[in-house]
Structure 1
Amino acid sequence: MRDNDPLVTNPELYTLIFENDRVRVLRYLDHPGDRTAPHSHPDSVMVTLSDFTRRITAGEREVEVDLPAGQARWVAAQQHAGENIGTSRTHSIFIELKEPQPAHLTTPIDTIGPTSH
């Protein structure tokens, strides 16, 4: 496991719920005011199980994310930290891909947090 793996940096917030050779599935659950230490995710799909508002920070950049429950969002490989800035808990599932990105898709992605594509 990497030092910046969310299961290492924030074991109180992330739980491993499934893993095989191709994917790893994490549950994330926090409460208003909770923060994560900087950590990284490979390319992932995030599924929201609750409505939430978060601030995602990567270096000097930050973005606020306000998502309803029941959304599926792409999270490109990235390192970031997060903070629950809303009034409800953040509950989501991350499906982390273990397979490398195909060579024809190696354009760098300069986004932080989840995107709709």
Structure 2
Amino acid sequence: MGHMIDLKSADGTTFAAYVAGPAGNPKAKGGLVVLQEIFGVNSHIRSVADGYAAEGYFVVAPATFHRVQPGVELGYTEADMGTGFGFKTAVEGLPAPGVMADIQAAIDHASQAGKVGIVGYCWGGLLTWRA
């Protein structure tokens, strides 16, 4: 089971991220950044991170909506999809580097475990090719 921490981007922006490491704190196989769906770092993304941690990885799941709305944690209703899509559109409209600086901060934090992989779900999948 992981916990929330604060990370800092190169531009000084502080944002939340969920981190989870291998049980019993053994040496991690490496780092992994998990990029959220349009629903935020919700219970599903946290459980995905916990699953990778159970397999031996040090996982960081950054809250990539924080520049437009901190603390987003949506469900999977039609209304939630509309809300999440609105946040996604707003984040994608930010001036460069926008959320990419936050993803880099997550990569940097995950690198304490060695080499870092990145995986994205839903909107996060679109962000992985940019990172």
TM-score after normalising by structure 2 = 0.28
Larger strand share, 1 or 2: 1
Larger helix share, 1 or 2: 2
TM-score after normalising by structure 1 = 0.30
